[in-house]
Amino acid sequence: MGFGGIMLNPKVADMIPYPRFEMVLHPKLHYKVGEDIVFYKNCVEHNIDVWVDTTLLNKHLTLMELNFQKTEEKE
């Protein structure tokens, strides 16, 4: 679902320790698991109910690393 269209009770922030929203490296597959999945896992571990309306359509943000290098100016 991602975090683009969530409603979150502020009490949840008190129940889940910091950092609440983080991407973690999957130990076997060697790719980063999204913060939404990690947050859901934390909710389950802290006995927090999660309700999802699968009829909502949200766009998803894809992240990629960009490397910027300083270039010399041409005269």
pLDDT digits (tens, 9 = 90+) for 30-74: 888 878 888 888 999 999 998 888 787 777 667 777 677 777 766
Residue 13, pLDDT score: 87
C-alpha span between 6 and 15 (Å, rounded): 17
Does 14 have pLDDT greater than 60?
yes
Domain span at 41: 1-75
Residues 6+ positions from 36 with CB-CB distance below 8 Å: 1, 2, 3
pTM of the model: 0.61
Instruction: Quote the number of domains for the chain.
Output: 1
pLDDT at residue 24 in the model: 83
The pLDDT of residue 75:
61
Residue 52 is predicted with a pLDDT of 81
